Every structure is written in C-alpha cells, then in structure tokens.
Amino acid sequence: MSYKTVADSSQLKFAEKLVILNDRAVGMLTRIYNMKKACADPKSQPQFLNDKTLESAISYIVKRFPVIDIKRNSTVYSSINDMKGNIIKKLSLYYYTFVDLLDLKDAILQLFTAMDANQCRLNINQNLDLTTSFLNLVVNFCSLMILLSRVEDRKTVLGLYAAAYDILHTGSETSFPRLGQMIVDYEQPFKKLSEDLGLSYRVISSALESLKETYFRRNISAEQQRDSAMISLTANPRHMLYAAQTNTIACEYMSLDTMDRWIIFGVSLCHRLLSDPSLLQLFQKAMQHSLAVRLFRDETIFSFSMILTVLEPLKNQNKLLNELKEINILAIQTCGHLHAHRRHFLRMALKELYLLLVDEPGLLGPKILFVWMGLSMARDEIQWLLRHYDVWQQLLLQYSPANKKAIQKSGLQNIVVDKFLPELLYYLTEIRNLVLKNSNLISSYYIEYIAGYDAPLLTELSQRFSGGSGLSEYEQLLIHSCIQSLANISDGIDSRGVHLDWFRFQALTSIGRSTFKLQVHANFAVAMNTALFHLKHIGNGLNDLLRETSDLSIYCFYPRIFDLHLRNCLDFPLQSRFSITFAHICAHFNSPLHELCPEENDTIIEKVCADGQQLVLSTEPRACANMFALEFQGKNEMKMPGFESIRQSGQPISSNDSNNLYLGELCQSLATTKELNISGHIFVPREFLFHQLEKYLNTSLLRYIHPNNEQQQQQPLECPRRPSEMLAFLSAQLNALQHLDIFYNFDLTRLFNDTLLQQSQREDAQGNETLAEIYSKWYLEVLLRKASTCHLLYSEHMQSFVNNPSSDIPVNNNNLSTQLFRAERFTDPRELRSLSQIIGPFGIKFMEEKLVWHIASQITELFKIVREHNEQLHIARVNYDKPEKLKEIVTSLSTSLDSPSGSGHKNEKRSTNTAHGISPLDSMLQRVIIIGEICAFRDMLFSALNDVLKQRAPFLINSLSSLINSPLDELQKINIGEACAASGFKLDVDLALANAIKQQANTNGLDDPNEHYKISCLLIVFIAISLPHLALNPQSCYKASLSVTKNNSHTIPLAVNTITGALFFLHQRGDTAERMHEFLAVFSKLF
C-alpha cells in the first residue's frame, strides 16, 4: 500500500486517529468477542445454523466460500429462497459487524502506512502518549484479527446473508467481495498479520527499543523488588514528605502485562525484529514472564505457539527455534515460582503501605506514585494467575508431554493455586478505596503543585526554544495552550483538552521532516509528561488512574475461578476475614462495558447480581451456624455441654475454638466496609446483616416452635413447644448473637426489640404467623376446648389447669403419641411467665382480645336462650319470693328439650348424658362454665404478665398499683382500664368485654338499650335459678386437694362477677350492687 506524504503536518491527524481507532478497536473487540461466544453456544447462536432444510446449502456455501453464484446453482439455494427475509433480518447484525471490522482494518493499516511513510520516531520516554497509543493499536489490531479467526461459523453466517441478499435484491451486497477475501486471508491470521505489520517494522522497532530500559527495570524477581524497596515508604524516611519524581514517571506504574503484549505481539508478528540482539533479548525476557498472552478478556494465546507458527515456515530459523524451545521449557519450570514469590512480596508490601497511609493519609499527596506502582504490580500478578489457571495443565504437557509422573514430581501442578490470594486482593481494594476517600486531599495537593512548580518550570523551559527552535505557529500555539491551562489550574478543570494538545504536539514533532527534535529537548518532554501525570489526579482523572492500575473487572469473565477463590477464602480460616473483598470486586464489573456493544449492559449487570447473591449466601450467619452445629462423628458416648473447655493446656484447639475464630474472621471482613457502591446501588453490609439476622431470628423461632416441622402444614394446631422451652431457645439465640456482637457491633438491642415486637402481632413483616398467633390459637382452640369437655380442670390452688384424673389425653403429635398431655406443663405460672416474656404486653393484649371476643360470643348465645324463655324468666323474677313457683319454672326449664342454638364458640360441646338435645338450663350452665374457664385463664395470664413487669419495670408497676389502690371512684379507675390490662392488673369492670358485648349486640339487632338491660337482668336471674341444679350432678363434687370440681363448676363465680360487672357498667345505671342482691335473693329461695 503506497501513501503520499502531506505537506502540512497538522493535516495528518495522527493523534486524533490513534485515539479514535483505539477506542473503535476496543469496541469492535467487544462485539467480535460476544459474537464468538454466541456462535459457540447452541442456545444463543443463530437458529439457521441448525436448520436441517439448510444443511445442504450451508455445506455448499462453506465449501465454495467466498463464491456465491445464485444463477448457476439455483437448486442449492432454493431452501434459502423460502426464508430469505427472515435470514436477512436475523443475520444483519452479524454481517454488518464484519463490515465494520473490514472498514476498521483498512483504517488501521492506512494509519500504519502513513506513520511509516512519514518516518515517525517513537520513544516512550519522550513522546509517551504517541508511543503507547501506537503499540496499543498494534496489539488491538492483532487481537482483533486473531479473535476473528476463532469465530465459528463465520463463513456460514456471511455466506447465508450474502445469498439471501442476492436472491432478494438480484445482486450481491457491495461489501461482500472484500469481506469474503478478508475472511479467507485471515484464515491463518499469523501469516497475514506478519505481512501487514512487516511494512511498519521501523516504527515498531523504535517503539520497542525505547521500552527496554523500563521493562528490564520493572520485570525483576521478588528478591530484587524487596532489595530496591520499590513501593516502600519507610526505606528512606528522610525523604518521606518529598514528592516522588523520576524522568519516566508515567512508565513506573505501567502494566507489565501490557508491556508483555506489546513485545510478544510486536516481535512475533514482525519477525524481522528478531535479528536485532537487543530486541531478541527483550522478547526472550517477555516469554519467560508470560507463557499465555491475553487477547481480550478471557481469550488467551500461547506466546510460544504463536512465534512457532510464524517461524516454522521460514528457512534458516532452526537455531532460533531451538533456543526459543529451551526458553519456553525453562519458563514453564520457573515462571510459576517467580510469580508466587512476587505475590508473597506484594502481600507484605501492600499491607505495610496501607497501614502507613491509613495512619497518615496526607502522604497520598507526595507519595501517590508508590500507590500506583503497588496497585499496578498487584493487578498484574492477579491477571497472570487468572490467565494461566485454566491453561496451566496444557502448558505442563509442553514441558513433559509423555511423563505425567515427572510433572507431579516437579510440584508444578498446584503452582497456580494461591490460598493467600484474598489477602492481596483485600489490600489492593482497600488502598483503592482509601484513594477514593481522600480524592479531595490528593486533588488539592496537585492543584498547588502544578500551579507552584510544574507550570513555572514549563514556562521557563519553553522560553529557551521560543525563538529559533523550528516550531511552527500551530505547534507554538499548542504548547502555549497547554502551559496556560496548567497555570490556570482549578478543581473543576476538564483535562482532556490539555492531554490532547500535548498528544498532538508529540505527533507533529515525531515525524521525520519536523524541524523540532523532541529528543533534543528531552527535559521539556519529561517535564510536560510529569505535569500531565500530576494533572490526572485532579477531577475525573483519578478514576481513570484507578481503572488503569487496579481494575479487576477481568474476574467478571472468569466466574468459575471467582467462585472458587471465594469458596477457598471462606474455607480457609486465616483468609476468611478478607472475603469482603470479593464484594468490592463486583463493583468493577461495569468498567469493561463499551458504547459499541450496548446490549452487553444487561449481561454484566446480571453477573453482578449473581456474584452479589453468591456473596450473600456465602457470608450470611447460617454459614457460621452450620459450623457450630458440626458433631464429632464416630463417638457414641454422650458429650456433656462445656466438655470442649476441659483440657490440660491451651495447645489443643477444639472445634468450638476454630468456629469462633472463623466467625471472628468473617465479622472482621464485614466490619472493614461501611458501604459498597455496585452499579449505582449502595450496599451497606451492616444493615444487610441486621435485616438478615432479623429474618433468620423470626424464621428460627417459627421453625423451633413446632416439634414436627414436616407436618406443620398438615397439623396447624399440633402441640407447640412449651413457652419455657421457647424462652430457653430465645436465650440461646441471644447468647450466640451477643457473641457475634463482640466481633461485629450491629445493634443487638434493636434487633431483638424489632423481632419480639413482630412476634407480638398477628403477622410478622414477612406475612408469616407469629408466636402470639400460634399460642393464641392453640390455647383457645385446643387447651380451652379440652377444658370445656372436662378433660382439664382449673385448679385455683395450683394456679393452673390440671388433667382430670378420670381422663387421659394423648398429645397431638405423631412422634409423641404415646406421651400423655399434661396441662400444667403449659399453664403453670412459670410457663405463663415465660410466655409473657416472649410475646410481651402487646402479645398478651392480643390474646386477651381473642379471649374477650369468645366471652362476648358466649354471652350473646346466653342472650338468645334468655329471649327464647323470656316469659318464664320474667315470672321467676317477679315471684322470686315464692319458692314453689320458682321450682315449677326450674322444672320446666330443665325438662324441655331444645335443639342446641347457634354458638359463637366451638368449644361448647360437653360430655353429658343427653343424646340428642340439651335443656335450656344445662345449656345455660355449660356456657357460664366456659366463660368461667376463659376468665380463669385470662386471670392467670394477667398474673404472669404482672409478675414479669414487676421484675422488668418495678417503678412503673408500683406507680400504677398505687393509683389503683388509691381512693378513686370506680369510674376513674375504669378510665385507666387499658393501661391496667396491659400491665396485668384486674379491675372489677372489664372495659374491653363491655365494648365487645356492645359491638356484638349491635350486630345481632339488640340495639335497644331498654331491651338489652331487661335481658341482662333476666340473664342474672336465669343463672341464679340454674345453680341449684348443679347439686344433683355428681361431677360437682369438690376436691379440696386441688380446689377443683370435675365439671369446672367452681369457675362460675368468676363468670358471674365478670358478666355482671361488664353488663351493668354498659348501661351506666349504677345498679350493679342491686342486681347482685337480686341474684342472691333468687338463688337463696331455692335452697
């Protein structure tokens, strides 16, 4: 390709073209990379590639590619004709991506030819931007064409589209002939690339020659790095406050991985350079350092295989090939150990650097170069490890293809496994975060430094060649613009213009016919490069430096290795404290995105979410709980609690010790980070842990309360664990979390307050049942139901329900069916106090509301019975002083059989002798006894709650008790009834019951106050005339040892007092005492 020189050098636009083409090349690499992945995956590849109707056409296209002759072979292409529109629609994106690649290739080769024709002189120490941009473009171009040759079915895709386009438009697509030729030419990419780059060998040679000094100084062993104190701030304490300065300041933190790619691609594909001894030495050093070279992301190529493919077809290269083979074998033997020692050195060096900078963040100003050097060196070692992890076994086969035992004996198999890698990652991310945290400090330092030193120095140097230096007017304008921008530096400056102007100046003065020789004025070039390096620390340039030196987005394309490293970190107690660094790495995953491939955004974000979820699952408290739950296997003898603490010396480490250590390391890992910024979302580990612990605590309580977790859905009313057991479990959880709180403070008080408050409501925050709801259901629908059938008896002496000696009740658990249910195990004062501690006053109030509702339902049913026998009860009330008349009415009510009226409470059926019906009198007594049982249980709850509150809040309870016992009238005491009920104090009038009775009366149409009052009076009369009937029942026999009757009739006084207090307070007539006198009068006349 010929190229004519341009008279005006400013029209060459080398700087602009290098910037644009490099960016375009990276974007095209992204698109080709995704196309390669899509074609290799059966799920995402174009559907036509597997279409059986197109098999013959596809095979013919591939065989004859790039010739597409529709007219002569119309039968072969007939199947394409049927779906030509769909093929063009689906494959157009693939086709025009290749067209864009063709245009990019032509533009790059044209630029290379132009730079060679204009005799560009490259030197990384002087025209830094021009040299690095050129070498980057060479590597990107080579990577692009090699990656193109790896795209499967590229001929099929292009051939199908071209054939369909030809059929549809009766003419071939204009770009296809050149495009097809490019695909054929780069079928063997190394040969074609050697031809393309051979014309530019002078430019490449000059660039690589200038790299030797920097590369040999940087590519040294760990021992040499340690001796030279490359990133140690304490090696020369006298100069600690002086700004770090070198003549090649931008090369000091340049990536070794990048330089390896420049050298290996440049020399391998421009093999004429191997005749230069100095470049040959440089190439051999690079081969010993990197056995596999990165093409793009996770795509790699073996450096020796590439040079072997280039040199084998050439003559008289056997000696060189043998030397390179020996170097390759030596590199396989030594390369892994070299990098392992470097990682060990960098762990210690970065730790020292981090601790010093945390203590003295002001050193980030003058010594920021040491930070970039350390970050760059660490990132290079991490990338080397990732790049060689999957291909290491293939490389070992080159070392000893037929002798696997020799490989095992050499110890090289596990050289790419580094258990201490998380520590290196941790200090890298922490230093990176430290730089971001102190960005304002760094920016302020360099604003003053540039304005006070760099700008005056550049002004002085520029004045030396302002006269007869040979600078054109445009070049003088560029220099003047740069110096003026530096002199007027401010915090909000956009430095891109200054960088581009200096880049333009480098390009203009590096061509052969330029009268200004930059190498003659090397001091000015060094000063300008140094000033622009300082300028990068102001504004957004700091983020670019961080991305350049410490970006770990490469992990995004090695998900299996990322997962493996995280698991190894969590499984290794000494490194688990550094596991949080993997969450920091997820924040880097959006940096590889490019605007030429916008469809990749969703994929990257999905991977970020997946990695974040994996981190959450690996570090949540359940992982620690599983370790605490480990048991010693193979030992049948029972281990008593605390046995692990019994030992003769402190040397043996028990499982509990190791688990505590593991827990502490994980907590320390979380404690090092306040927040993570991932893809625009802020993640706070402390708050996340708090919410996860809250969710875990709620779930564990619900899981533990049911002895049979598997049958929880089938038996919702199975016997739960006793409240004392639940309290012990809750205390154990508290002890464990207190132990966790020692390592990681996460507001344990708020956690338990929030959790227990949720457990006192009907539902928790997740919509699940709570302990209050479960215990309320069980006590009301199971325990009190057994009491209503006389299986359980209320013992005032025992202050609990006890089993009826004449009946045995099995537990409602399949696993415990042989055990007998003991009511006192759930209702004695200790259990109810435990229940009060678990669900608190709110939970007790919730249970009381349910109890009150059931009492009100029973009273409503009693009203129905009274209304049915209104006349008889009215006669009894009028004739209360006529015993004979009363006995007739009692006989009438006890002999007439009625169908059981509706009930609001399902616990009303009793074991009586009536088979098909029950008398109104018996029904009345049964319902009153049920009310008495519920009242007795409620009184026990109040007493237990009061006992707990006396211990927890004695001042409050004593104050309320004094108020209740003070000489206040009854109405004033009733006004504080809500507070009394919440504190476990019982008043003569139950305000909650009165409100419930009123609400149900309005619902059932009994809203006339006079009618309601009349029925209330008759109800008291009915209860009075029914009581003598109990004397005839043998179950009413009183057992003094327990203070019980076998039919719980001794609870009737509780019921009567509760009913009369609520009913007659409701009517506000102040005649409660009179109604009780009437009750006693009617009752006494029947004896």
Per residue in 1000-1027, pLDDT tens?
A: 888 877 778 888 888 988 888 888 888 8
d(CA 1068, CA 1046): 37
Measured in whole angstroms, the distance separating CA 199 from the mean position of its chain's CA atoms is: 53
Six-digit token string for 1025: 């005339």
Q: What is the pLDDT of residues 294-350, one digit of tens each?
A: 999 889 999 988 998 888 888 878 888 888 888 888 888 889 899 999 999 999 999
Verify cis geometry, omega within 30 degrees of 0, for the bond prior to 707: no
Contact present, 615 and 582 (Cβ < 8 Å)? yes
Letter for the amino acid at 255? S
Helices and strands counted in the chain (H then E): 47, 8
pLDDT, tens only, 905-921: 444 444 333 334 578 88
Q: Could you tell me the CA-to-CA distances from 420 to 196, 425, 568 in Å, in that order?
A: 44, 9, 9
pLDDT value, residue 642: 47
Q: What is the pTM of this model?
A: 0.68
- CA dist 976 and 987 (Å) reads 10
| Mean local confidence (pLDDT), 721-750 | 82
2-20 pLDDT per residue, tens: 444 454 666 788 999 999 9
Q: What is the pLDDT of residue 913?
A: 35
Site of tokens 């002569």: 72
Say if residues 233 and 371 touch (Cβ distance below 8 Å).
no
- Rg from Cα positions in the chain: 44
Please tell me the least confidently modeled range out of 7-11, 192-196, 363-367.
7-11
Q: What value, to the nearest 5°, has the Cα angle with vertex 794 and ends 789 and 799? A: 155
Check residues 75 and 1072 and name the one with the higher pLDDT: 1072
**CA–CA gap between residue 892 and residue 533 (Å, rounded):** 110
- Distance between CA 801 and CA 816 in Å, rounded? 21
Cα distance between residue 720 and residue 705, in whole Å: 6
DSSP string, 932-974: HHHHHHHHHHHHHHHHHHHHH-HHHHHHHHHHHHSS--HHHHH
**pLDDT(714) > 50:** no
- Are 836 and 945 a contacting pair, CB within 8 Å? yes
Q: Quick one: pLDDT band at residue 711, thresholds 50, 70, 90?
A: very low
List helix spans (H) across 219-302. Answer: 222-228, 256-268, 277-289
Q: How far apart are CA 647 and CA 635, in angstroms?
A: 18
CA distance readout (Å), 358 to 364, 431, 862: 10, 9, 78
What is the average per-residue pLDDT within 855-874?
A: 89
* Percent of the chain whose predicted confidence (pLDDT) is above 70: 86
The Cα–Cα gap between 467 and 187 comes to 55
Strand partners for 1045: 1038
**Which tops the pLDDT comparison, 701 or 676?**
701
Burial label, 604 (beta-carbon count in 10 A; 0-12, 13-18, 19+): middle
Structure tokens at 377: 């060196």
- Please give the backbone phi and psi of residue 300, each rounded to the nearest 5 degrees, phi first: -130, 170
DSSP strand pairing (299-302 vs 292-296): antiparallel
Q: Is the pLDDT confidence value at 132 over 90?
A: yes
Query: Residue 421 above 90 pLDDT?
Result: yes
Contact indicator for 622, 663 with CB cutoff of 8 Å: no
State how far Cα 141 lies from the chain centre. Answer: 38
Residue reference for tokens 């491939």: 597
The runs of H, that is alpha helices, within 536-639 are 541-550, 559-571, 581-586, 600-619, 621-628
Q: What is the structure's pLDDT at 619?
A: 54
Instruction: Please state, in angstroms and rounded to a whole number, the distance separating the CA atoms of residues 858 and 928.
Output: 8
Q: Is the pLDDT of residue 815 over 50?
A: no
* Alpha carbon separation from 745 to 582, 736, 748, 963 (Å, rounded): 22, 13, 8, 41
**In degrees, to the nearest 5, what angle opens at C-alpha 538 toward C-alphas 534 and 544?**
85
Tokens describing residue 1056:
């009567």
DSSP type of residue 439:
H
pLDDT at 515: 82
pLDDT, mean over the chain: 82
CB 970: neighbour CB atoms within 10 A?
14
Confidence at residue 603, expressed as pLDDT on a 0 to 100 scale? 53
| 233-242, 401-410, 797-806, 835-844: range with highest mean pLDDT | 835-844
Least confident of 100-109, 441-450, 714-723: 714-723
pLDDT at 636: 43
Q: What are phi and psi of 168, to 5 degrees?
A: -75, -40
Tell whether the model's pLDDT for residue 897 goes beyond 80: no
- Report residue 207 as tokens: 């660039």
Triad 745, 751, 756: Cα angle to 5°:
155
User: Closest by alpha carbon to 811, among 772, 835, 778?
Assistant: 778
Phi and psi at 966, nearest 5°, equal: -75, 160
